[in-house]
Amino acid sequence: MSERVTPFTHEQIGFSSVRFSSKGIFDTHKDKMVDPYAQTRIPKEAQVEGVHFFPQVSGIFPSIVVLHERWGLNGQIKDFATRLAREGYVVFLPNLYGRQGGMITANAEVADALVERMDQDTVLQDINASCEWLNTNLAEDALLDQTKRNFHAVIGFGIGGTLAIKFACRRKRLRAAVSFYGVPPSPMDPIKELYCPLLYHAAEKDVTVSTEDLDEMKRVAEEAGKNLEIVTYPGTIHSFFNESRADVYHAEAAEQAWEKTITFIDKALKI
């Protein structure tokens, strides 16, 4: 186990539920002051819902958008977000199933159906709006004064890891991306547009991603001059980082992946 000191305790981390426009354009308190129906009007555009985690201390922090696995926005991924916040980050955890009602499930068949129904382009729009929300200094929301503008990273798991790769190929102002066993794009052309360093955690025996696909992604990235690191963990299978699933969890590999992730993110954001 690492002896690195975590900057904040669990008790120092606060959280709140938030909701905002998927367009990435937000009303200010002045807009609401002159609109008598602001509090009751039903928005015409889709809304992004999620949970905001933050150190409850004075300071300006870089931020991370965390993308959950196929199970939805459950307790395990919230614990991970809290753990990141303890490292000195503002963390936003969007509900990737918000457009489908925000379901959480432990049933693999239901989870697969949710992923299949997901429109990834609109979810990527929601992820982009999440970064814009973190960038916005709304006068009535003092918590957003904690956020360092345009110092964002994205970390995703499973389907979230797949989206993290795609998002890193779309958002020019992203500083870093981490994908835990996400599926590379097919074809690989988007990797040529990778806008930030990407760390990919691979399970050695992952049936959802082939070694050939990872080798091809690495080759395309290198030929395009992009920064891509792939780390493979021996003896692991898909979802090895998920401590809530005893059938797949690999404690040693999970700890190694955590340390590599923090080192990678710190290098990109704490400059």
The tens digit of pLDDT for each residue in 177-219 reads: 999 999 999 999 999 999 999 999 999 999 999 999 999 999 9
Give the domain extent around 119.
10-269
184/163 Cα distance (integer angstroms): 9
Pick the residue with more confidence: 241 or 19? Answer: 241
Q: Percent of the chain, pLDDT > 90?
A: 81
pLDDT of 94 reads 98
pLDDT of 38 reads 57
Element (H, E) at 266: helix 251-269
Over residues 93-104, the mean pLDDT reads 96
Residue 110 lies in a domain: yes
DSSP 240: T
Domain with residue 83: its CATH number is 3.40.50.1820
Q: What is the rounded average pLDDT for all residues in the chain?
A: 91
Q: Percent of the chain, pLDDT > 70?
A: 89
Ordered alpha helix ranges (H), 86-199: 108-117, 120-135, 159-168
41/106 Cα distance (integer angstroms): 35
Q: The dihedral of CA 245, 262, 124, 31: what is its sign?
A: positive
pLDDT of 24 reads 80
**Is pLDDT of 87 > 50?**
yes
Number of domain units in the chain: 1
Residue 86 lies in a domain: yes
**Is pLDDT of 1 > 50?**
no
pLDDT digits (tens, 9 = 90+) for 121-162: 999 999 999 999 998 854 455 555 788 999 999 999 999 999
**Is pLDDT of 30 > 60?**
no
132/174 Cα distance (integer angstroms): 11
Residue 126 lies in a domain: yes
Residue 1 lies in a domain: no
118/123 Cα distance (integer angstroms): 8
Name the packing angle between helices 159-168 and 120-135 (round to 10°): 70
pLDDT of 142 reads 55
* Cβ neighbours of 26 (radius 10 Å): 14
Residue 115 lies in a domain: yes
127/173 Cα distance (integer angstroms): 13
pLDDT of 152 reads 95
pLDDT of 202 reads 98
Residue 79 lies in a domain: yes
- The answer to whether 166 and 120 are in contact (CB under 8 A) is yes
pLDDT of 139 reads 43
- The answer to whether 197 and 171 are in contact (CB under 8 A) is no
Residue 136 lies in a domain: yes
pLDDT of 187 reads 95
Residue 151 lies in a domain: yes
**Is pLDDT of 32 > 80?**
no
